[in-house]
């Protein structure tokens, strides 16, 4: 009976398994992405189903109310994130730089992933599966890229669930930063959120990412009193 209970799938959660990297002790083997608060039984069943995973088991960014059951199971903080909110008023103006924004295409994927890898450390960098998951994380999403001379130099993924909208990912090629590309991608996302009937937009970033913090605050985002935590399981 115990084995049968542990094997039952847990509803309201997505498990993203990563390819094993046996030579990298810090590699992520699986990520737990809950869509509802999970209880202790849920966590026990999830960990039982991930018993074969090589590498570390981490969560998505969790609010304080989502964390207690994970911490009861032995999860600890891997990294903390700032949470910003924009009320969709006083949106930034277009910078009129040399770049052009357009819809993202499947043929852009390799270039987008290259920009992402150069923009974030290995823990946060996306692979093809994770990029697809980011785009599907909400019922409605918007995928945009910025180009210069037809070369992709930045991208953004935004989403909407109900009246809540999210800037889920933003990356700009380090070689062309400072030209307003990030500003225009965020402006485009904010304008889209208004057209979608959004009440506000949320974005999070690493507490050590001072450049992102300055960018979001300059564009009208307000830092929340709450932080989000990515948790990691302390494997016995």
pLDDT confidence of residue 2? 44
What's residue 1's pLDDT?
A: 44
Say yes or no to pLDDT of 5 above 80.
no
Mean pLDDT of 51-68: 89
Query: Residue 58 pLDDT more than 60?
Result: yes
Measured torsion, CA atoms of residues 49, 53, 58, 59, in degrees rounded to the nearest 10: -30
- pLDDT tens digit sequence for 134-174: 888 888 999 999 999 999 999 999 999 999 999 999 999 99
**185-216 as b/e, with b when 16 or more CB fall inside 10 Å?**
bbbbbbebbeeeebebbbbbbbeeeeebbebb
Identify the band that residue 236 occupies on the pLDDT scale cut at 50, 70 and 90: low
**Structural domain boundaries in the chain:** 2-81+229-233, 91-219
Label residue 70 exposed, middle or buried (CB < 10 Å: 0-12, 13-18, 19+): buried
pLDDT exceeds cutoff 70 at 7: no
The arrangement of secondary structure in 91-219, i.e. its CATH architecture, is 3-Layer(aba) Sandwich (3.40)
Least confident of 3-12, 47-56, 92-101: 3-12
Give the pLDDT score at 20: 57
Q: What is the DSSP letter of 87?
A: -
For the chain, what is the mean pLDDT? 89
Confidence of residue 102 (pLDDT cuts 50, 70, 90): very high
Confidence of residue 56 (pLDDT cuts 50, 70, 90): confident
């Amino acid at each position: 009976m115990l084995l049968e209970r542990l094997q039952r799938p847990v509803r309201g959660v997505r498990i993203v398994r990563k390819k094993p990297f046996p030579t990298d002790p810090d590699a992520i083997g699986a990520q737990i992405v809950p869509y509802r608060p999970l209880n202790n039984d849920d966590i026990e069943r999830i960990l039982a189903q991930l018993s074969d995973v090589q590498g570390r088991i981490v969560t998505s960014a969790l609010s304080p109310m989502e964390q207690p059951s994970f911490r009861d199971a032995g999860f600890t903080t891997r990294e903390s994130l700032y949470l910003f909110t924009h009320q969709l008023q006083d949106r930034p103006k277009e910078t009129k730089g040399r770049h052009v924004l357009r819809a993202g295409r499947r043929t852009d994927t390799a270039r987008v992933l290259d920009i992402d890898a150069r923009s974030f450390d290995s823990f946060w960098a996306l692979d093809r599966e994770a990029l697809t998951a980011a785009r599907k994380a909400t019922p409605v999403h918007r995928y945009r890229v910025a180009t210069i001379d037809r070369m992709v130099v930045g991208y953004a993924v935004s989403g909407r669930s109900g009246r809540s909208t999210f800037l889920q990912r933003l990356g700009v090629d380090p070689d062309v930063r400072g030209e307003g590309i990030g500003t225009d991608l965020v402006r485009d996302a904010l304008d889209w959120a208004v057209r979608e009937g959004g009440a506000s937009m949320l974005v999070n970033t690493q507490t050590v990412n001072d450049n992102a913090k300055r960018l979001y605050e300059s564009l009208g985002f307000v830092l929340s009193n709450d932080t989000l935590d990515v948790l990691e399981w302390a494997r016995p």
